[in-house]
Amino acid sequence: MTFGKGCHLHLIDGSAFIFRAYHALPPLTRKSDGLPIGAVSGFCNMLQRYVEGNHGGDVTHVAVIFDKGSHTFRNDLYDQYKANREAMPEDLRPQIPLTRQATEAFNIACKEMEGYEADDIIATLAVQAREAGGRVTIISSDKDLMQLVGNGVEMFDAMKNRSIDRDGVIEKFGVGPERVVDVQALAGDSVDNVPGAPGIGIKTAALLINEYGSLEDLLDRAEEIKQPKRRQTLIEKRDQIELSKKLVQLDCETPLEFTLDDLEVREPDPERLMEFLAKMEFRTLTKRISEKLGVEAPAIPEKTPDTAEEGAPTAEALPFDGEAYECIREIDALTPWIDRIRERGYVAVDTETTGLNEMIAELVGVSLCIDPGKACYIPLTHKDGDADDLFGSDALAEGQIPLEEALAALKPVLEDPSILKIGQNIKYDFKILKRYGIAVSPIDDTMLMSYAMHGGEHGHGMDTLSERYLGHTPIPIKPLLGSGKSAITFDKVKIDDATPYAAEDADVTLRLWQLFKPQLHRAKVTTVYETLERPLVPVLAQMEMHGVKVDREVLSRMSNAFAQKMAGLEAEIHELAGESFNVGSPAQLGEILFDKMSLPGGKKGKTGKYSTPADVLEDLATEHDLPRRVLDWRQLSKLKSTYTDALQTHINPDTGRVHTSYSITGANTGRLASTDPNLQNIPVRSEEGRRIREAFVAEPGNVLVSLDYSQIELRILAHIAQIPALKQAFSDGLDIHAMTASEMFDVPLDEMTPDIRRQAKAINFGVIYGISGFGLARNLRIPRAEAQGFIDRYFERFPGIRAYMDDTVGFAKEHGYVQTLFGRRIHTTEINAKGPTAGFAKRAAINAPIQGTAADVIRRAMVRMPTAIAELPARMLLQVHDELLFEVAEDAVDSLIDAARDVMEGAADPAVKLDVNLVVDAGQGANWAEAH
């Protein structure tokens, strides 16, 4: 078929495919000889998905285009072109020719030309196809190709699964495709080492091009530019800019040795394809494609154990098979497992228990896995599952190794410093086993690995990770346990049903570990994982198990007092409303306020119900007595239900203490999250609420000591955004909010009023949150224009802030993540979204490095703390983001404060040299209210 009108050409950027495949997969090797083939495997998977995805589509011609050789005409123009490219990884080099073979095996045209980049060939073909009247889709996300978009040519980003049209190009470059090279010539490209105009980025470049029409006009009329620096750059660097344009301009006249007609879509040749896939030993892919094509899959020899690297991930995933797992019912069957673990040096471990509360749950069984697909389950305390038999249900089921005997066999392995124990959320298993006298160490945690690499991209639970990275949905627990009232605990599950479920968890964990472990350093987060995530596990486990003493009597008395006051308020509210209704129902309250009483300001939410938040009621309080009563009632209701009542239910009957659980991966920024109960939101701001903290007490002869970082986020902002005035103020020990107010409103410090300071404080916080006029206006209850005026003035006085915000958002857009000073990466998946989401994402991106760096700092302090206070009669109990709470013997308070303060104030050292000091305030008392 001759290429012409109605034809549709797909051009696949092969080199981009290869690099993506290489970085997405672990270093897989061919079983028979250890040849690296990870990238080839990923490449073939992408090609197969491409072929399947286009089945029945209108594509008539297709080609995969590759780079060839490293020297191109661009190097003749500029010898530094792509000079700072990193060398190709050693294990990728031998895979390059194999990807050509793969393309040919799929019977897709495979094109390259010595001395030309793939981009030039793509450009030439696209132009030819367009001139012939056809349509073109370029499958790539390379921004250098965006200059080709338009007039029937579009791009498709296979990664994000979205096409890029003219509007997409304008979004990226601020100009249409025809002016993309002009913008690139100005902005340069650090990856390809294109110099561009120093100090001009994409945004400024787009602005200039849009104003002057084209690069040539801009350079000719450079004298007219107002900004002196910019004018000088454009005049002085004219040659460099013109050279840059030649470097980024794609060559649409590459002398091709083939025509469009040669690219016609061809049916795959099953025999040839199968032969190639079998040669690569891709078992799963061979099977899948053979089924698709309806041909027989060729046999692939099994692996020869002596050549396969020990423990190396295999190229093709072994299917999950619940039948294949071993159930260990006697000690003689356990011994060989223990021997194999000793030989191997690592093992994936998972515990099954009677509940989710590690301080109460009892051990039911243990799973182990050292090779994918080969896992075992050791049932220990399963009961006879006959629910009708009231006596039998408490008896241990037959065929289980006695608990003590099994633990005695496992303990030496689990505590052996030369054997790595791998878990998914291993803090849970660590705590359970600790209660049975086993101190698990050393450890690795796949959940934490995922968090370090993919924080912000998705959750890190086992089901999510397994589906996403292993393509396997683990057996759900629901059918085994049931739900609601009729739910049973795991010890009541039949051992035969428990085995595939439990062993699979260990299997999944092991496979995730094999996948993640080598990826950590490629993702450049090994240090983050090893210094900020993993070491926290034993530290938090210890804190959680120790718990904090809570005085039930104090809570109980307060609860009764609250109940009485609430009853009184409720009667008054009903009286004022003229009818009885549920004060706790915003919907009912809304109808009373806005319909019955016709008060102003009634807004309805998405469910069509009135919304009655506190600030609205606050406004209404000037018009009527009822809203104030409701506000008072709500405060009491909150205190009673969430704190005085619910907290009591969390007091552990054995310890008399409350044991929270910290989630290391709970917050995207690196902060911890506290659950069951949340001890990070115990009231403190209101006088009545603060009294809840009187119930958090020290044991007799001890006191509670609280140490908290003073203004840590603002200090970090001063450092990151390099604000001289802020840094100076901190170094002088000034009241930072008063200083801000003085600077902004031209009020001398000795004439400062509380109100002016309050406004400055709100602005300081606003900056950390990614300030907006709307948000500040709402917070300060002032007109939006006035709030905007404040912000403008702030940016004027502290110009570094604006630059920090712009730079951070720019970085997020380019890389898809932002970073803390310690290298933690927080992914910003929505940063390129449109509409209101864009605003959210930008503010989150601005806030994340600040909040995240503060979180890293206190994590570092916590990791060092146990050693620092080991000799003292003291325990670290709680973390509340910028505060650590300790319980310490009365006579050791001063030593504890000295030691802990040293650790906290020096927590950034030596990894990061901050331009500001970290300052820690300390307090002490018989209870948390006094200590804070």
Partner DNA sequence: CTAGAGCGCTCG
Partner DNA sequence: GTACGAGCGCTCTAGC
Cα–Cα distance, 350 to 501 (Å, whole number): 11
From candidates 162, 221, 638, 797, binder to DNA by CB under 7 A? 638
Could you tell me the smallest distance in angstroms from the CB atom of residue 378 to DNA? Answer: 29
Q: Note whether 771 binds DNA by CB under 7 A.
A: yes
Residue 807 host element (H or E): helix 799-815
Cα–Cα distance, 590 to 576 (Å, whole number): 14
From candidates 128, 514, 669, 820, binder to DNA by CB under 7 A? 669
Task: Name which of 246 and 628 has its Cβ closer to DNA.
Answer: 628
Residue 3 buriedness (CB in 10 A; 0-12 / 13-18 / 19+):
buried
From candidates 645, 694, 915, 930, binder to DNA by CB under 7 A? 645
Kindly tell me the sign of the dihedral angle through the C-alpha atoms of 296, 302, 307, 309. positive
Cα–Cα distance, 609 to 406 (Å, whole number): 58
| Strand duo 162-164 + 153-157: pairing | antiparallel
Question: Is 59 in contact with 67 (CB distance < 8 Å)?
Answer: no
Could you tell me the smallest distance in angstroms from the CB atom of residue 514 to DNA? Answer: 28
Task: Name which of 105 and 880 has its Cβ closer to DNA.
Answer: 880
Task: Name which of 189 and 708 has its Cβ closer to DNA.
Answer: 708
Task: Name which of 188 and 586 has its Cβ closer to DNA.
Answer: 586
Task: Name which of 32 and 642 has its Cβ closer to DNA.
Answer: 642
Could you tell me the smallest distance in angstroms from the CB atom of residue 589 to DNA? Answer: 7
From candidates 45, 163, 680, 895, binder to DNA by CB under 7 A? 680
| Strand duo 109-111 + 135-139: pairing | unpaired
Q: Note whether 450 binds DNA by CB under 7 A.
A: no
Bond preceding residue 412 cis, omega within 30 of 0: no
Cα–Cα distance, 490 to 392 (Å, whole number): 16
Q: Which alpha helices (DSSP H) does 523-644 contain, by range? A: 526-528, 536-546, 552-577, 586-590, 614-620, 626-638
Residue 128 has phi, psi (to 5 degrees) of -60, -45
Q: Note whether 356 binds DNA by CB under 7 A.
A: no
Instruction: Annotate each residue in 218-237 with x if it binds DNA (CB under 7 A) or - if it does not, as one string.
Output: --------------------
CA distances from 219 to 197, 208, 235, 509, 563 (A): 11, 10, 7, 59, 77
Could you tell me the smallest distance in angstroms from the CB atom of residue 833 to DNA? Answer: 12
Tokens of 106: 């799929």
Could you tell me the smallest distance in angstroms from the CB atom of residue 574 to DNA? Answer: 14
Task: Name which of 446 and 661 has its Cβ closer to DNA.
Answer: 661
Could you tell me the smallest distance in angstroms from the CB atom of residue 116 to DNA? Answer: 45
Task: Name which of 75 and 663 has its Cβ closer to DNA.
Answer: 663
The count of residues interacting with DNA (CB under 7 A) is 76
Task: Name which of 506 and 767 has its Cβ closer to DNA.
Answer: 767
Query: Which residues are paired to 383 by β-bridges?
Result: 396
Could you tell me the smallest distance in angstroms from the CB atom of residue 658 to DNA? Answer: 12
Sheet holding 548-550, edge to edge: 657-658, 548-550, 696-697
Kindly tell me the sign of the dihedral angle through the C-alpha atoms of 679, 907, 769, 756. positive
Task: Name which of 438 and 855 has its Cβ closer to DNA.
Answer: 855
Q: Note whether 556 binds DNA by CB under 7 A.
A: no
Question: Is 323 in contact with 393 (CB distance < 8 Å)?
Answer: no
Task: Name which of 303 and 628 has its Cβ closer to DNA.
Answer: 628
Cα–Cα distance, 364 to 123 (Å, whole number): 64
From candidates 667, 725, 911, 919, binder to DNA by CB under 7 A? 667
Could you tell me the smallest distance in angstroms from the CB atom of residue 59 to DNA? Answer: 39
Greatest extent of the chain over all pairs of C-alpha atoms, in Å = 96
Task: Name which of 247 and 762 has its Cβ closer to DNA.
Answer: 762
From candidates 341, 682, 718, 869, binder to DNA by CB under 7 A? 682
Task: Name which of 60 and 635 has its Cβ closer to DNA.
Answer: 635
Could you tell me the smallest distance in angstroms from the CB atom of residue 503 to DNA? Answer: 26
Could you tell me the smallest distance in angstroms from the CB atom of residue 932 to DNA? Answer: 7
Could you tell me the smallest distance in angstroms from the CB atom of residue 677 to DNA? Answer: 5
Cβ count near 735 (within 10 Å): 16
Could you tell me the smallest distance in angstroms from the CB atom of residue 805 to DNA? Answer: 12
Burial 825-861 (b: 16+ CB within 10 A, else e): bbbbebbbeeeeeeeebbbbbbbbbbbbbbbbbbbbb
Give the footprint of DNA on residues 775-794 (CB under 7 A): 775-776, 778-779
Tokens of 394: 């408490």
Tokens of 559: 């609860």
Could you tell me the smallest distance in angstroms from the CB atom of residue 640 to DNA? Answer: 8
Q: What is the CA angle 88-90-92, rounded to 5?
A: 70
Give the footprint of DNA on residues 472-531 (CB under 7 A): 483-486
Task: Name which of 26 and 766 has its Cβ closer to DNA.
Answer: 766
Task: Name which of 376 and 658 has its Cβ closer to DNA.
Answer: 658
User: What is the three-class DSSP state of 876?
Assistant: strand
Task: Name which of 226 and 606 has its Cβ closer to DNA.
Answer: 606
Give the footprint of DNA on residues 846-885 (CB under 7 A): 847-848, 851, 880-883
Q: Note whether 675 binds DNA by CB under 7 A.
A: yes
Could you tell me the smallest distance in angstroms from the CB atom of residue 594 to DNA? Answer: 11
Could you tell me the smallest distance in angstroms from the CB atom of residue 148 to DNA? Answer: 34
Would you mind telling me the total number of residues written for the chain in this entry? Answer: 932
Question: Is 756 in contact with 735 (CB distance < 8 Å)?
Answer: no
From candidates 677, 824, 856, 885, binder to DNA by CB under 7 A? 677
Task: Name which of 74 and 827 has its Cβ closer to DNA.
Answer: 827
Could you tell me the smallest distance in angstroms from the CB atom of residue 192 to DNA? Answer: 33
Instruction: Annotate each residue in 883-912 with x if it binds DNA (CB under 7 A) or - if it does not, as one string.
Output: x-----------------------------
| Strand duo 162-164 + 883-889: pairing | unpaired
Task: Name which of 40 and 548 has its Cβ closer to DNA.
Answer: 548
C-alpha gyration radius of the chain: 33
Q: Which alpha helices (DSSP H) does 142-264 contain, by range? A: 166-173, 180-187, 202-212, 215-220, 228-236, 238-248
Q: What is the dihedral of CA 23, 24, 29, 30, to 10 degrees?
A: -120
Residue 85 has phi, psi (to 5 degrees) of -65, 140
Task: Name which of 196 and 852 has its Cβ closer to DNA.
Answer: 852
Could you tell me the smallest distance in angstroms from the CB atom of residue 672 to DNA? Answer: 9
Query: CB under 7 A: which stretch of 181-189, 489-497, 680-688, 813-821 binds DNA?
Result: 680-688
Could you tell me the smallest distance in angstroms from the CB atom of residue 404 to DNA? Answer: 34
Give the footprint of DNA on residues 684-713 (CB under 7 A): 684-686, 689
Give the footprint of DNA on residues 573-632 (CB under 7 A): 582, 584-588, 590, 605-607, 609-614, 617, 631
Query: CB under 7 A: which stretch of 44-52, 79-87, 347-355, 683-691 binds DNA?
Result: 683-691
Give the footprint of DNA on residues 820-849 (CB under 7 A): 836, 839-840, 843-844, 847-848
| Inter-residue long-range contacts of 280-283, CB under 8 Å, 24+ positions, other chains counted | 280/30, 280/37, 280/40, 280/41, 280/44, 280/98, 280/315, 281/30, 281/31, 281/32, 281/37, 281/315, 281/316, 282/41, 282/44, 282/315, 282/316, 283/315, 283/316
From candidates 769, 833, 872, 895, binder to DNA by CB under 7 A? 769
Tokens of 524: 């450049």
Which of these, 120, 119, 101, 122, lies nearest to 110 by C-alpha position?
A: 101
